[in-house]
A = this chain, B = another copy of it.
Amino acid sequence: MDKVRVIEVKQSIFADNNAHADRLRARLRSEKSFLVNLMSSPGAGKTTTLARTIADLGGEMRIGVMEADIDSTVDAEAIAAAGAHAIQLHTGGMCHLDAAMTEQGLDELGSADFDLVVLENVGNLVCPAEFDTGAAKNVAILSVPEGHDKPLKYPLMFQVCHALLINKIDVLPYFDFDMDKVVSYAKMRNPSIRIFPICAKTGEGFDAWEDWLREQTAAWNSGE
């Protein structure tokens, strides 16, 4: 395996992150590159979900991945092993990525060469939700062991996400997790959120998630 490329990204010195994010979206639109910002708690299964998605969709589209991490290359190595082009972004202790940091990553990756770029954000349900990265869509993963009350406790994350993957449904029998409640709490935060129960370990539920991702990528890249 090639050594993983590590980029030390720096926060913007400019105040207006939202304007920067909008400029970045315009650039990605013109490059026909669909950027997904993937967020979750630590250990919810971002990397495993991404590795399976790459294995399933890698034959039909060019996928690039930016792995954000405080200080390791564990995830980028896993993603490179799954067959995607991956770079590691080190945030130097920062708990989130902003549009400027994302753009540094996209420049390094060469975003124009990819139909789909996934930014795996820092594992955190609070701070990443506060910063627009310039992504076309935000996707959150909530795993069954975390509990169904999370949309009550971390409202902004569920409000800003276009899709929510409920991961680790294979362990539903061992946890007090109420699927109806989590769906209703998430929709309370964002009535139009799309919800996909999945198991990244077994692949259960991936068809619906990947259909959504395929449709969204095609729509963005055709200029819709």
Contact = CB atoms under 8 A, between A and B. Distances in A.
Interface string A50-79: 000000000000000000011110110000
Interface residues of A, number: 36
Contacts of A127: 95, 124, 126-127
A145 B40 CA distance: 14
Contacts of A147: 43
A153 B168 CA distance: 21
A165 interface: no
A26 to B, nearest CB: 28
Contacts of A42: 41, 125, 146, 150, 153-154
A95 B153 CA distance: 12
Nearest to A71: B155
Given A125-B123, A126-B124, A155 B70 contact: yes
Given A42-B154, A70-B154, A71-B155, 13 more contacts: A41-B42, A41-B123, A41-B146, A43-B143, A71-B153, A72-B152, A123-B126, A123-B154, A124-B127, A170-B174, A171-B171, A171-B175, A174-B174
Interface of A: 41-44, 69-72, 74-75, 93, 95, 122-127, 130, 143-147, 149-150, 152-156, 168, 170-171, 174-175
